[in-house]
Chain A
Amino acid sequence: SQKIEQNSEALNIQEGKTATLTCNYTNYSPAYLQWYRQDPGRGPVFLLLIRENEKEKRKERLKVTFDTTLKQSLFHITASQPADSATYLCALDILTGGGNKLTFGTGTQLKVEL
């Protein structure tokens, strides 16, 4: 069956450290992979998109890698801050006949402590 797995346990790290979140998938061949941030009581907000032929993408303190052989994406936040505390969702952009649809993982809750 098709599955997207993110760390189910919350990730607690100290301010200033690098947070690394994992997204693994099986039985999908996504054209793109996206990462979203979701704060409590709010809708997800787009962060980064990476294509299947890109190994790495960066935006300010954020970095995403995409390994289609391992079927894995890693999401890094460097110099983390308490304001980075949120749930982070990965989403696979699947090509279908009726238009692409995003399939979301369950998310990883990140808590950055002082």
Chain B
Amino acid sequence: NAGVTQTPKFRILKIGQSMTLQCAQDMNHNYMYWYRQDPGMGLKLIYYSVGAGITDKGEVPNGYNVSRSTTEDFPLRLELAAPSQTSVYFCASRYDREYFEQYFGPGTRLTVT
């Protein structure tokens, strides 16, 4: 199993540009999550999904959109990038709604200038 994969690893965007961060998992997990991590701060939940076709907002959803058309993929879309979106983004998945651990991807480091 590859686990949770994310692409790209690094990206520099200009203010106002858009991009999609890709996330895929091959563990047949229903639950998937997007977090951002700023220096010295904890992981903040952006969006999550409990299954294909179902998504919901987390703690910091503004400026982002998600979709979940398959169990495996959970892309995160940034529209009109702003410097405040400079961060490291982690995707994670989980087997079930409680008790089980989360598996994280390697992260995407995004800089908006």
CA distance A32 to B99 in the complex (A): 7
CB pair A106–B40 under 8 Å, yes or no, is yes
Count of A interface residues, CB-CB < 8 Å: 25
CB pair A46–B102 under 8 Å, yes or no, is yes
CB pair A44–B43 under 8 Å, yes or no, is yes
CB pair A95–B98 under 8 Å, yes or no, is yes
* Pair count A-B, CB < 8 A: 58
Choose among B42, B50, B98 the residue that contacts A4 (Cβ–Cβ < 8 A). Answer: B42
How far in angstroms is the closest Cβ of chain A from B52? 14
Q: Does B75 count as interface, using CB distance less than 8 angstroms?
A: no
CB pair B42–A98 under 8 Å, yes or no, is no
CA distance A45 to B107 in the complex (A): 12
Where the two chains meet, the residues of A that have a C-beta atom closer than 8 Å to any C-beta of B are 4, 31-32, 34, 41-46, 49, 51, 89, 93, 95, 98-107
